[in-house]
Amino acid sequence: MTPIADIARLGTPCLLLDEQRMSRNIARLSGRLLSLGVPLRPHLKTAKCLEVARQVMATQAGPAAVSTLKEAEQFAAAGVRDILYTVGITPDKLDRVVALRKTGVDLAIVVDNLQQALAVCAKARETHDPLPVLIEVDSDGHRSGVKVGDALLLALGQMLNCGGTELRGVMTHAGESYKCTGVRALEEAAERERQAAVRSAEILRAAGLPCSVVSVGSTPTALFARSLHGVTEVRAGVFVFFDLVMAGLGVCTVDDIAISVLATVIGHQLEKGWTIVDAGWTAMSRDRGTWNESENRGYGLVCDQAGQALSELILQETSQEHGIIRARTIGRGEELPVGSRVRILPNHACATSAQHDQYFVLDEHQRVTAIWPRFSGW
Amino acid sequence: MTPIADIARLGTPCLLLDEQRMSRNIARLSGRLLSLGVPLRPHLKTAKCLEVARQVMATQAGPAAVSTLKEAEQFAAAGVRDILYTVGITPDKLDRVVALRKTGVDLAIVVDNLQQALAVCAKARETHDPLPVLIEVDSDGHRSGVKVGDALLLALGQMLNCGGTELRGVMTHAGESYKCTGVRALEEAAERERQAAVRSAEILRAAGLPCSVVSVGSTPTALFARSLHGVTEVRAGVFVFFDLVMAGLGVCTVDDIAISVLATVIGHQLEKGWTIVDAGWTAMSRDRGTWNESENRGYGLVCDQAGQALSELILQETSQEHGIIRARTIGRGEELPVGSRVRILPNHACATSAQHDQYFVLDEHQRVTAIWPRFSGW
């Protein structure tokens, strides 16, 4: 593509997207899942961007996973037809679900308790729309979901199946995999996630209930699963961009991280070794994902304008529009004069992206070739 | 005003603004500064909302402080004419400053080093616009600014004064006051801030340099200063809304906090005492401001839909669109059925507001009377 702007002319702070790295990240997971014979349902919550969605989805109609109904509506308006809304439904959101389904979108929803299931059944009967439902299973105690083996699973399955909805299957998310370090721990997390979903599906099927979908996924487990036997689809989101948390787990390297925040040096406090830039938490988010890891990267790892990591410099502190860069270890680190540019790799790609409303897309020569809008809200 | 919506009908998550509390907060600081005889230059970065700006500014034309040039441009378009951009200028932003000033806005900028001053002088000569400049002074080691007594102050003053700019004065921000607890520590922080600014002004004036503005401010020091002798204006922002960090410092009470995030219960993990809601970090921000305080409030303090704090419930954990509510101490806390609503008070009003693009404004009967847009970006 033809360059449209010089990176040196961009106003700062702004969000850069290295398209080559993104394509490589997408190819890596796609190749992995192809070898395991399971399709990807990419989670569009990380990028919230149609252009990224089009590169990561198998077809222009999906499948896709979303975290908000606004994502579902936005991507549906662009032609996506197979969408899973992965956050447990609340009764008051069902009218929006029904309205979107009326436009021809196969939007499926998620429940993990009887109150939700009752509300979904009532809405299905009221609207004569057999709302497709997945039952969420808790594979690792991370957040939501029915415990594996809990009698609630069958109760939910039966209620949904005879209550006017389409019981489509089960889903789980191994959120605790974000705390695993090393190949073995990641492989084990993936296997626990697979077993929880497959076993739950077997319980439903053994009771004569339908369960065509067995959906699992998180970026770490998607990349480290050795078997996906019994699984029908894998969801993952952050793999598109990667971030320092993923690099800290060994899921990617720092060189795989596709987004960064471009910032300009405002000033210094030389006796403290501080370089002050115009990227604060409004640009980076307040996510301190790596604090629990052995290697503290503050609010991000500092690179030069071309994207080369400046060995020891991290974004140590942020306020609303100021960031303080300092050397991680003793010493002053590189000299960065006032007006010079740096790129800061984020702790958490989802959270940093969410602070911006557009991506400045870079080609392999670090030239800006496009500006891709992103949205937020609900 | 006539109610336009029932709070129970709002889609969640969303940001609520209690207008009565906001008005009370504004009256409190205004009264305080009136008694000390110093005008307020409200910082509009917290709300980024024209309707809030109009209530907090002394006149519809200002004065006002902003943290981004986008704020300056947005508020200028609505008639604000006296604006201080409080983040140290970068050379590449000067063209936007000049362009906005050409529309008749008295936009002043901030520097704390010679490279910035050189760039500003060059732009002033190039454009024949005597750009008004404040020199930033470091009163507490928090972030940017010239150390009090450093020869750099006079060097900057002389360069700006004879370089084609308007040397307007000095400014400082006692950011370390956010770590002070108790009246005495807050009073001392305010006095250090005042002294740093006044002493720097005296040094400039003693050298025959102009210094008409002596600008100080942070919400804690603005509210606890016992004297503002020698100060010509006070900047403060978060006082409009307040938050749990401010309540933790003793600067306000929890009942003063004017914003909250409305959320709906999705489900539970009863054996862990968890209630799961549809407000994650996209709704609350990742700000954990209160972690360093004695009282851990997680990502926020949970209230019922009417705004009454539910004694012991906090938002313990957040992921992108999920929040986990649990009791701070032992026990399961209140029962919150699926579909019920809670309001979550934020750690940091600036950060939580920044996650939203509108405020649902409540009257004293907790009815929605208006929707006020807010903006973000740079």
CB-based contacts of A308, cutoff 8 Å, min separation 6: none
- For B196, the token pair is 């740093």
Contact A90 B264 (CB under 8 A): yes
The answer to whether residue B132 scores a pLDDT higher than 70 is yes
8 A C-beta contact, residue B278 and residue B266: yes
Whether the complex's predicted ipTM surpasses the cut of 0.85: yes
Q: How many CA atoms lie within 13 A of A124 on its CB side?
A: 21
Residue A293's pLDDT band (cuts 50, 70, 90): low
8 A C-beta contact, residue A253 and residue A24: no
- For A167, the token pair is 């019981």
Picking from A278, A287, A377, the nearest residue to B357 by CB comes out as A377
Q: What one-character DSSP code corresponds to residue B256? A: G
Contact B266 A143 (CB under 8 A): no
8 A C-beta contact, residue A269 and residue A315: no
The answer to whether residue A195 scores a pLDDT higher than 90 is yes
Q: What is the DSSP string of A141-153?
A: SSSSSEETT-THH
Q: Taking residues B277-292, what's their average pLDDT?
A: 88
- pLDDT by residue (tens digit) across B176-231? 988 888 899 999 999 999 999 999 999 999 999 999 999 999 999 999 999 999 99
Find the closest chain B residue to A323 by CA distance: B143
Angle, helix A94-102 to helix A69-77, in steps of 10 degrees = 10
| A119 contacts in chain B (CB < 8 Å) | 338-339
Among B275, B286, B290, B358, which would you mutate to test the A interface (most chain A Cβ atoms within 10 Å of its Cβ)? B286
Strands A106-111, A132-138: pairing is parallel
Nearest to B252 by CA among B262, B241, B263: B241
Q: Taking residues B144-173, what's their average pLDDT?
A: 97
CA atoms of A265 and A315, how far apart (whole Å): 12
The answer to whether residue B18 scores a pLDDT higher than 60 is yes
8 A C-beta contact, residue B163 and residue B121: yes
Picking from B14, B320, B378, the nearest residue to A67 by CB comes out as B320
Residue A114's pLDDT band (cuts 50, 70, 90): very high
Identify residue B136 by its one-letter amino acid code. Answer: E
Burial of A253 (0-12, 13-18, 19+ CB in 10 A): exposed
Beta partners for residue A160, in sequence order: none
| B286 contacts in chain A (CB < 8 Å) | 285-288, 348, 351
| A116 contacts in chain B (CB < 8 Å) | 266-267, 338
Picking from B45, B87, B350, the nearest residue to A278 by CB comes out as B87
CB atoms within 10 A of CB B116: 26
Find the closest chain A residue to B287 by CA distance: A286
| A338 contacts in chain B (CB < 8 Å) | 90-91, 113, 115-116, 119
Q: Strand ranges (DSSP E) for A245-292? A: 259-269, 274-277
The answer to whether residue A1 scores a pLDDT higher than 90 is no
Dihedral sign from CA coordinates of A97, A100, A104, A107: negative
- For B83, the token pair is 């604006």
Contact B267 A138 (CB under 8 A): no
Q: Give the pLDDT score at B292.
A: 58
Q: Give the pLDDT score at A329.
A: 61
CB atoms within 10 A of CB B285: 30
Q: Taking residues A295-313, what's their average pLDDT?
A: 89
Distance between the two ends of chain B, CA-based, in angstroms? 33
CB atoms within 10 A of CB B267: 25
Residue A267's pLDDT band (cuts 50, 70, 90): very high
Beta partners for residue B213, in sequence order: B169
The answer to whether residue A181 scores a pLDDT higher than 70 is yes
The residue among A333 and A158 whose pLDDT is bigger is A158
The answer to whether residue A292 scores a pLDDT higher than 70 is no
Picking from A67, A320, A322, the nearest residue to B144 by CB comes out as A322
Q: Give the pLDDT score at B290.
A: 61
CA atoms of B358 and B122, how far apart (whole Å): 40
Q: Give the pLDDT score at B200.
A: 98
CA atoms of B75 and B54, how far apart (whole Å): 10
CB-based contacts of B151, cutoff 8 Å, min separation 6: none
Contact B88 A266 (CB under 8 A): yes
Find the closest chain A residue to B322 by CA distance: A87
Nearest to B170 by CA among B192, B148, B142, B140: B148
Q: What share of chain A is helix, strand, coil (3-state, %, to 5)?
A: 35, 25, 40
| A319 contacts in chain B (CB < 8 Å) | 143, 175
Contact B115 A357 (CB under 8 A): no
Picking from A266, A276, A321, the nearest residue to B68 by CB comes out as A321
Burial of A122 (0-12, 13-18, 19+ CB in 10 A): middle
| A138 contacts in chain B (CB < 8 Å) | 269
- pLDDT by residue (tens digit) across B79-90? 999 999 999 999
Identify residue A10 by its one-letter amino acid code. Answer: L
CA atoms of A223 and B231, how far apart (whole Å): 59
Beta partners for residue A66, in sequence order: A85
The answer to whether residue A122 scores a pLDDT higher than 60 is yes
Q: Taking residues B32-57, what's their average pLDDT?
A: 98
CA distance A378 to chain B (A): 7
Residue B244's pLDDT band (cuts 50, 70, 90): very high
> What is the three-class DSSP state of B378?
coil
Q: What is the DSSP string of B64-104?
A: EEESSHHHHHHHHHTT--EEEE-S---GGGHHHHHHHHHTT
Q: Taking residues B25-40, what's their average pLDDT?
A: 97
- pLDDT by residue (tens digit) across B354-363? 999 999 999 9
Q: Give the pLDDT score at A170.
A: 98
CA distance B123 to chain A (A): 14
| Residue position matching structure tokens 């960064």 | A260
Q: Taking residues B285-305, what's their average pLDDT?
A: 82
CA distance A269 to chain B (A): 7
CA distance A373 to chain B (A): 13
CA distance B273 to chain A (A): 12
CB-based contacts of A81, cutoff 8 Å, min separation 6: A61, A62, A104, A105, A106
Contact B286 A287 (CB under 8 A): yes
Phi, psi of A210 (to 5 degrees): -75, 150
CA atoms of B335 and A151, how far apart (whole Å): 22
CA atoms of A62 and B217, how far apart (whole Å): 52
The answer to whether residue A343 scores a pLDDT higher than 90 is yes
Q: Give the pLDDT score at A333.
A: 47
Contact A267 B45 (CB under 8 A): no
Q: Taking residues A208-216, what's their average pLDDT?
A: 98
CA distance B300 to chain A (A): 15
Q: Give the pLDDT score at B178.
A: 87
Contact B286 A286 (CB under 8 A): yes
Beta partners for residue A107, in sequence order: A83
CA atoms of B71 and B375, how far apart (whole Å): 8
Across chain B, mean pLDDT equals 95
Q: Taking residues A13-30, what's their average pLDDT?
A: 98
| B109 contacts in chain A (CB < 8 Å) | none
8 A C-beta contact, residue A207 and residue A216: no
CB-based contacts of A231, cutoff 8 Å, min separation 6: A38, A194, A197, A198, A214, A215, A216
Q: Taking residues B239-252, what's their average pLDDT?
A: 95
CA atoms of B30 and A297, how far apart (whole Å): 41
